[in-house]
Amino acid sequence: MAKHVAVKMRRLVRRVDFLSLKEQGQRVMTQGFVLQWRDMADEAGLAVGFTASGALGGAVQRNRARRRLKAAFDAVCRLNPDAKGQGKWLVMVAKMPIFKMDYVYLVADMRKALREAGIIC
């Protein structure tokens, strides 16, 4: 059974886009990640990127951190019919505590950060 996607979304993958967002975007820090965002008038929905630095460990740990961020984002935004996904770029940067956080708390952090960025009510 396919899940209904509430928000039109594409992935940010180019390094230059990540760097542009870091320099010119706004940010909110949570315990498990940093959310960076920027309004982009020509973006039809949301462009989202997930990243984890080498400080988190090897490839296995970085992939695990990104998977946790993606799952929390899907639960809070992508599958949320009340989400407003118009004209924004988002990047989520995992921080070390993401490995020790309970998933429920990570979702609460995601909800708080996306609310501050104006994505959800």
- Provide the 10 A C-beta neighbour count for residue 98: 23
CATH value at residue 48: 3.30.230.10
Is there a domain that residue 20 lies in? Answer: yes
Is there a domain that residue 52 lies in? Answer: yes
Confidence (pLDDT) at 107 = 95
Pair 28, 34: CB distance under 8 Å: yes
Is there a domain that residue 2 lies in? Answer: no
Domain count, the chain: 1
Is there a domain that residue 121 lies in? Answer: no
Distance of CA 10 to the CA centre of its chain: 12
Confidence (pLDDT) at 28 = 96
Is there a domain that residue 18 lies in? Answer: yes
Sign of the alpha-carbon dihedral angle for 95, 98, 104, 107: positive
Each residue's pLDDT, cut to its tens digit, for the chain (121 residues) gives: 445 566 678 899 999 999 998 999 999 999 999 999 999 888 888 899 999 999 999 999 999 999 999 999 998 887 776 777 678 899 999 999 999 999 999 999 999 999 998 887 5
Is there a domain that residue 59 lies in? Answer: yes
Give the range of the structural domain holding residue 51, as residue numbers without chain letter: 9-115
Is there a domain that residue 4 lies in? Answer: no
Is there a domain that residue 120 lies in? Answer: no
Look up the pTM and report it: 0.88
